[in-house]
Structure 1
């Protein structure tokens, strides 16, 4: 029937909605719900969608739009300070993982090209899952967040380069074919640069106020690059990613992403459901030894490699462990590689089935792995300390030392401010005149800005034992929480109240229920900025309605000058 594909889309979305609602009820990740949906409606479940061709089309479309959104979100400027670690660390990890898996598959009797494919499938990590988790936890700008995203983006760029080469391995040894590949790649990147510099800035600026035209320009950019990529014999996913990168550094990239967010979420759902639909229970088709090798690679080898790279680079064991766990899963490009290999006859159905199983399971378990990272670190740290009591890790914390500025004398009776945003810094600027103030934040840019302004600061999470000791939170006279993470704020407040009943605690709440919970934990004063702001706004509006007068021009100009001064400081220290 002509509308079969439409009905298939409908089945996917309806089933996804039902399963996602159930998952939310039991506080499970939506990603897990989408993968389970695919299993339920796919060939091994209810077989509501059994057409293999439709499933592959959904997967390719889903991953293309997904990578288009990732390209737009890729902000290289924030990663510039770590450029050498991110580039060489990613290349080292991909090379080591691929080489080890390739060698072991040779021992198991697999062929050259199939072994190479599997090595690369396992070497890449998911940018989508990493960005989604970090965004949900408000950790995008943390040190580990920037490392995770940086490593994942470099992997994506490597995958973009390798996909067409793997499709035609003879290209490497044929000057004519290699020239064609390089010309095709050059066409895509030259087109991206020209559009980025000459056309798109003007188009987006002139149509920024017209939502429909703005949306069409953004979508046309993605679809246009998919079309050009197909013309030069590249995957449409590669074209979509390069199209996203074309928009990534433009002033309107945030607006562009917000306009396509609904479409991105739609195709994200399609992609992960289609992955679930490709699972098979045919045990006969599963090379068991290969399955064991692949699971050991994603759950042990990859995290270990990233842990060692990050640790020896000087970012400490906590950041290293978080980076390792965040990048343990297979990637969207892993699926593209597997699908390409199967389609071109470079991979058997049995190996493909195992690859899809590993991709799905590793993606589904990542949120749970990351949620347990703090407990895992505490456990491993305590075991290591008992086994090696004299070991010093100062050498491997040198990058964290650069994000630390504390007084030489011992901290006692001081003020600790959790969070170094606008709220926290404004409070610190006043209170430093009354006592020693220490700011704690997990955004390295904020800490570096504070250090330039000679504000005592520590990088990290107030829940971690290291930060607790460095800032001597337990010995503080006043503790002020301005952090947006409610769970973390509650945890710190509870621990502090148990350790020191005399500490005076002030905290910021986002809603009334949260404020009540904080008072129950022993907070002396809870501030709700949005309530204070709305009350002041109401007062001014009522004053205008009663008197016909707004704030005086003098006060207004004074406030504007104050804002200009603060904005200038932000630009100076950012």
Structure 2
């Protein structure tokens, strides 16, 4: 077998490492996710197993890490696509206020810690500043999995990460200045001037290309109507921006981020994001695998005292500083604690800083290995610390059950899961018709408030199978899933489909994409939470403009019918993400039926609005 593999490798591409890496990811990540340990830890563990410190199936992890860094590049590009210039400008105080404060404070403290650990001041500065730069890949991945990137808490963390990524530029320039002199002063001066002017020129060139060239460029590619050409164009922009910034001495990830920001207002933004997303996911997973493989257990074993002490002290000092700054700026205790744990590790840009410092002669090889191992160990520990924080927080924040009954042995023929604004209204016709209804929710304050106005609501988490059984899901005639979190709603629907396949299920959906998810999860009836209210709103508008009741009713029924037809086509397999053509078609159909002309600009406006699919009912 080995001989055949070697012979195959000699005649073409060696597929063994690729197959091994993909197999490890496919097996380890779902397992760790199922154990609630997170996908990042699954990748790291798989990488450690496959690398030189494990079974050594991969002998050169550094080459894989170099390629896998493109995952971080593409991830920052997608983040940039969501950061329109106006939004980025709105975050300027957080980026250059909170970010500078955290980087500066942590840098001073960690440099002092390095001196106390026995390193020379310059070496301690390099060590500390490398550890200051949090792992963008780990933090973004965790925030993305939780759906917190767009929350105020997530935006503050993203702002700090952006400033830390920007900080690599002056740090690399400082390394060049601190490097031992090797030539004449004139040559050094010219070199330093060029090293400062080149990055500035790269940024200016990128802005010019983004404002003047990229949008017409993608317009030409779109005119070809070839999906693979658009994909190639998107990859060209991402990798070209990364190459330009890397050649200028800047961060590849920052180049991709800037390219994303410049394309964030483009009409092709959603298409570009869809093209890049698959590559981003695979390469980012490969990056975590490579980080796990890079961990040299031998180096850790030989220097375990200094590495263990450094990891512990650096993470504690950095975490305490982050917590103190967050509290000083009036963040809650919970948010400050989570930020401290989430950002307490070193990051991938530390590898760049340490390698550059070693090449410049500021630190030697063994010291570089110790610094790198310290950062990697801190990255490996972070998922465990997050799990520990979540457990402690859950225990500490256990809701008071005074005046609240657990869902246990309920027998209502109709079960309502979630009693927020939507569930409260949906329950009223059922109660008016004197149906036997059981209602569960996991918000104890809301349950007590509902009791004061005559509603009997039981405490229960609808995402747990044991709670569903106790609430009578197995014997219910109908279950209404009225929760307001789309992932939670989908999870409940899938759980009901798998465990109680005979029960009829209705669900509240967030948007069209979510509605399709729910139908495919077995939901018998779903309704988008704003569809009917928005439709009635529009009906009232045409009524106020003079339409009769009959005309209004006919128009509304026509809109419902066309929407249902589009939904059926999309459910049958059409790409629901590309709504622009459907909106244009709908506008044209409406025009033909009503006899009103639809200007081309109106159709183009509808297409542009479709770049925000979450906004559609």
Q: TM-score under structure 2 normalisation?
A: 0.63
Structure showing greater Rg: 2
Partner of 1:540: none
Partner of 2:314: 297
Matches within 5 A, 1:144-293: 144-169=153-178, 175-208=189-222, 209-234=225-250, 236-237=252-253, 239-280=255-296, 281-282=298-299, 285-286=302-303, 288-289=305-306, 291-293=308-310
For the pair 1:29 / 2:38, whether they are aligned, the reply is: yes
Aligned equivalents of 1:262, 1:516: Cα separation in 2 = 29
Alpha-carbon displacement from aligned partner over 1:116-154 (angstroms, at most 9, x marks no partner) = 221112111122222222222222232322222222222
Aligned equivalents of 1:24, 1:470: Cα separation in 2 = 32
Partners of 1:72 and 1:247 within 8 A in 2: no
Partners of 1:307 and 1:324 within 8 A in 2: yes
* Residue from 120, 123, 134 that aligns with 1:125: 134
Partner of 1:63: 69
Moved more, 95-104 or 370-379: 370-379
Shift of 1:229: 3.1
Partners of 2:318 and 2:340 within 8 A in 1: yes
Partners of 2:107 and 2:129 within 8 A in 1: yes
For the pair 1:88 / 2:97, whether they are aligned, the reply is: yes
For the pair 1:136 / 2:142, whether they are aligned, the reply is: no
Shift of 1:193: 0.9
Shift of 1:330: 1.9
Partners of 2:123 and 2:363 within 8 A in 1: yes
Aligned equivalents of 2:52, 2:366: Cα separation in 1 = 16
1:377–1:514 CA distance, 2 compared to 1 (3 A): same
Partners of 1:38 and 1:273 within 8 A in 2: yes
Shift of 1:220: 0.9
* Residue from 313, 333, 338 that aligns with 2:349: 333
Aligned equivalents of 2:231, 2:116: Cα separation in 1 = 52
C-alpha RMSD of the superposition = 4.8
Partners of 1:515 and 1:526 within 8 A in 2: no
Partners of 2:74 and 2:276 within 8 A in 1: no
1:99–1:93 CA distance, 2 compared to 1 (3 A): same
1:260–1:306 CA distance, 2 compared to 1 (3 A): same
1:150–1:226 CA distance, 2 compared to 1 (3 A): closer
Partner of 1:396: none
Aligned equivalents of 2:51, 2:314: Cα separation in 1 = 27
For the pair 1:354 / 2:370, whether they are aligned, the reply is: yes
For the pair 1:72 / 2:72, whether they are aligned, the reply is: no
Aligned equivalents of 2:329, 2:470: Cα separation in 1 = 32
Partners of 1:322 and 1:373 within 8 A in 2: yes
Q: Secondary structure at the match of 2:213?
A: helix
Partner of 1:401: none
1:40–1:525 CA distance, 2 compared to 1 (3 A): closer
Partners of 1:62 and 1:271 within 8 A in 2: yes
Alpha-carbon displacement from aligned partner over 1:511-560 (angstroms, at most 9, x marks no partner) = 545458999xxxx99635545997699xxxxxxxxxxxxx9963356769
1:108–1:344 CA distance, 2 compared to 1 (3 A): same
Aligned equivalents of 1:109, 1:11: Cα separation in 2 = 42
Partners of 1:97 and 1:123 within 8 A in 2: yes
Gaps of 5+ in 1: 383-415, 432-461, 498-503, 538-550
Q: TM-score under structure 1 normalisation?
A: 0.67
* Residue from 472, 482, 487 that aligns with 1:507: 482
Alpha-carbon displacement from aligned partner over 1:457-513 (angstroms, at most 9, x marks no partner) = xxxxx9788xx48995775655999xxx964x999999999xxxxxx9973443545
Aligned equivalents of 1:340, 1:5: Cα separation in 2 = 31
Partner of 1:457: none
Shift of 1:325: 2.0
Partners of 2:199 and 2:249 within 8 A in 1: no
Aligned equivalents of 1:89, 1:265: Cα separation in 2 = 29
Gaps of 5+ in 2: 1-9, 399-416, 430-440, 473-478, 484-488, 510-514, 528-551, 564-582, 588-608
Alpha-carbon displacement from aligned partner over 1:33-55 (angstroms, at most 9, x marks no partner) = 2222222222222222324xxx3
Partners of 2:310 and 2:374 within 8 A in 1: no
Partners of 1:285 and 1:353 within 8 A in 2: no
Partner of 1:312: 328
Aligned equivalents of 1:343, 1:495: Cα separation in 2 = 64
Aligned equivalents of 1:472, 1:165: Cα separation in 2 = 60
1:203–1:170 CA distance, 2 compared to 1 (3 A): same
Partner of 1:554: 555
Partners of 1:93 and 1:302 within 8 A in 2: no
Aligned equivalents of 1:260, 1:275: Cα separation in 2 = 22
